[in-house]
Structure 1
Amino acid sequence: MPDSLTDHLRRGDLLAPQCPSRAVLRAITSQWGVLVLMVLRDGTLRFSALRRRVGGVSERMLAETLKRLEAHGLVLRVAYPVVPPQTEYSLTPLGQEAAAHVAALADWVEVTLPALRPDQSAELRA
């Protein structure tokens, strides 16, 4: 049975190529977006501390990820007028909500990992 117009409007049209929801979904579910949201659930962090917690992310990728999450209202950036510059990042209420959802997905991946990767050597060869 097709969705009603109300269901469609409430959910958006994520499957349509031009749906603005896709940009938000891309920011939240990118590898670095998920990890940043999860790390910031623990509280406010400065850029360097955030980079250390999200192992393997380059400065450039972290900066881009934070900008995208901030643009969607998920991360709050506070820059203090001091020398050297000091910037802190935290989750907004929407960011906290999004982080809870991606954390649930990440938990599911961790718990289910043995079933998802029965042949880990195949990934190493790719």
Structure 2
Amino acid sequence: MTDQTLSTSRLSDLMYTPVTTVHQFMAKAEIQPILPEPAPNGCARQFDERQSLLMMLAADMVRSGMKFPLAARWACRIAEQLLFEPEAPRVHIEFRRNGALFCFTSDDAPEAADAARRHYQRQ
């Protein structure tokens, strides 16, 4: 990961979301674990690459119809997985119709994800 950062306004542009909406998102407790530290007065909060990606992912989930608190919780679960393997070359994220989320960094899905996939293939 590089040391590049994005300001909140630049991130909102990449999220295709008004900056006021991004500030409203950032005020929710569910997203707090992945946010950068608050900036001093008069300065913009700076998001690193991973924080930016997670915010954009949460915004995409909201655009697809999900409520923000759930999207934020899922973004935090993905962040937790990335903490276990910070140098993972890729991250696989599987969403299920029943609301389950599986996030893994290897090419092999976890047992629960495999079982869910087999269940839905039989239907």
For the aligned pair, the TM-score class normalised by the smaller chain equals 0.3 to 0.5
- Normalized per residue, which structure has more helix? 1
Question: TM-score, normalization: structure 1?
Answer: 0.32
Which of the pair has the greater relative contact order for Cα pairs under 8 Å at 6+ separation?
Answer: 1
Question: TM-score, normalization: structure 2?
Answer: 0.33
The structure number with the bigger radius of gyration is 1
